[in-house]
A and B are shown apart, each in its own frame.
Chain A
Amino acid sequence: MSTATTSSSRTCAAAIEPAPFAAPAAITRAAAGIGLYAGAFGIMFGALAARSGLSATQALALSAVMFTGASQFALVGVLAAGGSHLAGLSAALLLGLRNAFYGVPVTRILRPRGLRRLWAAHFVIDESTAMAVAQPAPRAGRYAFWATGITLYALWTLGTLAGTLIGSGIDISALGLDAAAPAIFLALLWPQLSRERARAVALGAAVVVLGLIPLAPAGLPIIAAAAVAILAGLLPARRGHGTEDQ
């Protein structure tokens, strides 16, 4: 659903750098743009979910409760490919893990207390975090977080509903929609490949998955790829390249 995975590490700089206060109108316009984009993506998600054999209610439940695009696409993608439910679940959770790390900058900006934590947590996603940390002042950051989160939530779920309605009635293959899921995953992956270690991990994961396809049950190669990331993450940063992975 977006490209802001590395944004959390820039938070400190964003919070202390003096910059002109962004007018709420500009934030609202940006949030509306992101919302429309999410609506279009929601339609794609709904169509893919319908094609994967999920009911409209199940697709809507994913958008309304899970509410994190890459995990949703991964879950329906694994199920559509005949993978086990456990494999789909694991892929969704591993991709959703990044949202936990967005919690650090979001908490600094929102300072949610008590029960508000439960509510705020639901809207912690790529786009709301990126918009919040991009604002020069906490007040603008809070506004950006809620404007983006709520607009996106509304249009993402509406788009999903529309997608499930049209998704089951179209010829997926003739329209080239079987390229939809890998195209979305590639678009999400691309901006992250600017880091050298990320490129190495991508290559390692591709090799592991290709090697395991004929050997392991469906879905397992995807989980095995996570081991590549964990191994690479535990390796210390190389001398002289310490900031590269930040």
Chain B
Amino acid sequence: MITVWATVLVASLGCYGLKLAGVSLPESVLNHPRVQRTAGLLPVAMLTALVVTDLFDANGRYTADWSTLAGIGAGAIALRFGRSPVVVFLLAIATTAVARLVS
């Protein structure tokens, strides 16, 4: 419990520190092309990694839950058609629930 609190607080203060650095650092540092490019690509890599581990990682072993994959597939199709994240979210969980019910 204490380590959870420590993680919550350190991560929270760290994220605030990043915001504060943004409004405090000289523009020249943050406007450097390589810094900008890396900063734009980091969320892409992190979000991809989170999707992949959520779907295929069961504590170090490969896994695949077909109901969840069906839900994410439905969400991807909704995204392809420009739907908002809330629609994507609702469609994904509804599809997963129905797929689980019938499988």
Contact = CB atoms under 8 A, between A and B. Distances in A.
Q: Do A and B actually bind?
A: yes
Interface of A: 3, 5-6, 9, 37, 40-41, 44, 53-54, 58, 61-62, 65-68, 70-71, 73-75, 77-79, 81-82, 85, 88-89, 91-104, 106-107, 110, 112, 117-118, 120-122, 124, 173-190, 192-193, 195, 197-198, 201-202, 204-206, 208-210, 213-214, 216-218, 221-222, 224-226, 228-230, 232-234, 237, 245-246
16 contacts: A6-B40, A95-B42, A100-B30, A101-B40, A104-B22, A106-B23, A107-B23, A112-B23, A120-B23, A174-B101, A222-B46, A225-B45, A229-B42, A233-B39, A237-B33, A245-B37
B73 to A, nearest CB: 10
A206 B46 CA distance: 10
Contacts of A3: 85
Contacts of B54: 77, 81, 181-182, 185
Given A204-B45, A209-B52, A225-B46, 13 more contacts: A65-B12, A88-B7, A93-B11, A101-B22, A103-B19, A122-B16, A175-B93, A175-B97, A186-B88, A201-B44, A213-B57, A232-B41, A246-B36
Interface residues of B, number: 76
Contact of A96 (B15, B25, B41, B65): B15
Contacts of B62: 213-214
A218 B22 contact: no
Nearest to A101: B39
Interface string B48-82: 11111111110111100101100110011001000
A206 B52 contact: yes
Contacts of A61: 8-9, 12
Interface in B1-47: 3-16, 18-25, 27, 30-31, 33-47
A214 B93 CA distance: 27
B84 to A, nearest CB: 8
Contacts of A218: 57, 59-60
Nearest to A232: B41
B27 to A, nearest CB: 6
A211 to B, nearest CB: 10
B102 interface: no
Contacts of B100: 173-174, 176
